[in-house]
Amino acid sequence: MSDLREKLGDICDAEIQSDNPSCYTLADAIIAALPDMVQPLVWYNAGPEIQSQSLIHFYRVYANSAGGYTLDDNEAYSAHRSQDEAKAAAQAHHVAQIMAALGMGVE
Per-residue pLDDT reduced to its tens digit, 12-47: 888 788 887 787 888 888 888 899 989 999 999 998
Instruction: Let me know: does 41 contact 91? Beta carbons within 8 Å.
Output: yes
Instruction: Provide CB contacts within 8 A for 8, sequence distance 6+.
Output: 30, 33
> In sequence order, what are the beta bridge partners of 49?
46, 62
pTM summary value: 0.80
